[in-house]
Amino acid sequence: MPLLCRPAVAVPEHVITQEDTLALAARLHADHPQLRLVLRLIENTGVIKRHIIRPIDETLQDTGFAHRNRVFEIEAKKRVPPVVSEALAHAELKAEDIDTIVLVSCTGFMMPSLTSWMINELGFRTDTVQLPIAQLGCAAGTAAINRATDYCVAHPGANALIVSCEFCSLCYQPDDHDVSSLLSNGLFGDAVAAAVVRGDGEGTGVRLHAQTSHVMPGTSAWIAYDVKDTGFHFRLNKSVPGIMQQMIPQLNAFIEKNGLQLPGLDFYIVHTGGPRVLDAMRTHGGVPDAGLADSWYTLSHHGNVASAAVFDVLRRTAGSRPREGACGVIAGFGPGITMELALGTWHTSLAQQGALRKATEGEA
């Protein structure tokens, strides 16, 4: 069974706090008829701080779609390589060992894809298969894991590299006064993540046993981009906060089909879409508070970093060293409304098991 290795994640150096965000919203939108609602929604996100690729003064400037997309390309080519290098090291592989690259992003556009540039510049083989995915939004992180798994199952022994590049701050729209757009200004952050799926099942990480996808009928426009000359404008239907309650039965059915119960799992890698997502996992799914601690931390310290979120949560969970064979779920939610799920068990490589034993014996 393929194994999802410990991911690498990097957030940019520029930080904006919730206090900064609230002050900016109050100043820039002082005449907005629903300002009090907007401020309350931002406060309720639970986001303490976020990281963005440019200083806030530059981020607030309306430089046009073409310029911002150019910034996406420049910043991606600068920030992706070190994260990829770290992810390969975690997997104990080199670039030439990778057979396919699955790239996910919903915040910028390049053609040729960034995967082509990576193959040319970062030492990947010229026959490396490219699989860029651009329109799954926040669900794309788990979807990338599932598509990488598909490739490794179809090509036994193959290795897949996943790259998530999300610069949500480039989607800031200063003249968009829609409440959902203003809310997004206080929720989303920037991040780059990468992880390897090893087809031989070796390494340290999550051995992937099962996966599924589910689209909730009648909700295709509930989370969306309104694409204009100025770029991507975020839109969120007011019914979205309650949709997780309707998704829980499908989530439960998937877990139970594999002989398990959602409340009884050992770890939960849940996309940090917002407080309502995590609250629903607890109140309607029975997930214990402790099981969502890593997701809450990612949300509060990085915001919603779209497809990169599940990798940051997984990175934190990996740091706690789950026991061998611990069983958990990886869950992503996004436009569609789409749910992507993967189920797996924790495996620690023999080399790392030996190192941990020596460390334990030394402490004794």
Q: What is the CATH number of the domain that holds 330?
A: 3.40.47.10
Query: Domain of 238?
Result: 205-350
Same domain flag for 138 and 266: no
Same domain flag for 190 and 58: yes
Question: Which of the listed residues 198, 216, 244 is the one where a domain comes to its end?
Answer: 198
**pTM (2 d.p.):** 0.95
The Cα diameter of the chain in Å comes to: 65
C-alpha pair distances (Å), 267 with each of 17, 75, 87, 329 = 29, 33, 21, 7
Question: Which of the listed residues 164, 198, 232 is the one where a domain comes to its end?
Answer: 198
Total structural domains in the chain?
Answer: 2
Which residues share a beta bridge with 345? 207, 327
Same domain flag for 172 and 232: no
**Is the residue at 359 inside a domain?**
no
In 44-178, which ranges are continuous DSSP H helix? Answer: 56-59, 65-90, 114-121, 140-154
Same domain flag for 144 and 209: no
- Residue in the block written with tokens 């798994």: 149
Catalytic residue among 5, 106, 138, 168: 138
* CA pair distance 271, 124, nearest whole angstrom: 29
**Is the residue at 171 inside a domain?**
yes
The answer to whether 208 and 346 are in contact (CB under 8 A) is no
* CA pair distance 89, 94, nearest whole angstrom: 7
Question: Which of the listed residues 156, 175, 198 is the one where a domain comes to its end?
Answer: 198
Same domain flag for 46 and 161: yes
Same domain flag for 260 and 315: yes
Same domain flag for 103 and 15: yes
Spatial neighbors of 276 by CB under 8 A, at least 6 apart, are 240, 241, 242, 244
**Is the residue at 363 inside a domain?**
no
pLDDT score recorded for residue 116: 98
Spatial neighbors of 314 by CB under 8 A, at least 6 apart, are 4, 6, 7, 195, 206, 269, 330
The answer to whether 53 and 17 are in contact (CB under 8 A) is no
The answer to whether 114 and 76 are in contact (CB under 8 A) is yes
Same domain flag for 129 and 273: no
* CA pair distance 133, 146, nearest whole angstrom: 12
Length of the chain, in residues: 364
138 is catalytic: yes
The answer to whether 167 and 120 are in contact (CB under 8 A) is no
Same domain flag for 231 and 155: no
Same domain flag for 324 and 234: yes
**Is the residue at 298 inside a domain?**
yes
pLDDT score recorded for residue 201: 93
**Is the residue at 355 inside a domain?**
no
Which residues share a beta bridge with 191? 166
Same domain flag for 24 and 89: yes
**Is the residue at 158 inside a domain?**
yes
Same domain flag for 192 and 222: no
Dihedral Cα 330, 155, 76, 48, nearest 10 deg: 10
* Paired sense of beta strands 231-236 and 49-52, if any: unpaired
Residue 295 exposure: Cα atoms within 13 Å on the Cβ side: 27
Question: Which of 257, 304, 311 lies closest to 148 in space, CA to CA?
Answer: 311
**Is the residue at 336 inside a domain?**
yes
DSSP 204: S
**Is the residue at 360 inside a domain?**
no
| E strands present in 105-204 | 129-133, 159-167, 190-198
pLDDT score recorded for residue 358: 58
* CA pair distance 154, 175, nearest whole angstrom: 47
* Paired sense of beta strands 14-17 and 49-52, if any: antiparallel
pLDDT score recorded for residue 355: 57
Question: Which of 236, 311, 323, 232 lies closest to 274 in space, CA to CA?
Answer: 236
* CA pair distance 10, 219, nearest whole angstrom: 32
pLDDT score recorded for residue 205: 97
DSSP 306: G
Per-residue confidence in pLDDT tens, the chain, 364 aa: 999 999 999 999 999 999 999 999 999 999 999 999 999 999 999 999 999 999 999 999 988 999 999 999 999 999 999 999 999 999 999 999 999 999 999 999 999 999 999 999 999 999 999 999 999 999 999 999 999 999 999 999 999 999 999 999 999 998 999 999 999 999 999 999 999 999 999 999 999 999 999 999 999 889 999 998 889 999 988 888 788 888 999 999 999 999 999 999 999 999 998 998 999 999 999 999 999 999 999 999 999 999 999 999 999 999 999 999 999 999 999 998 999 999 999 999 876 666 555 555 565 5
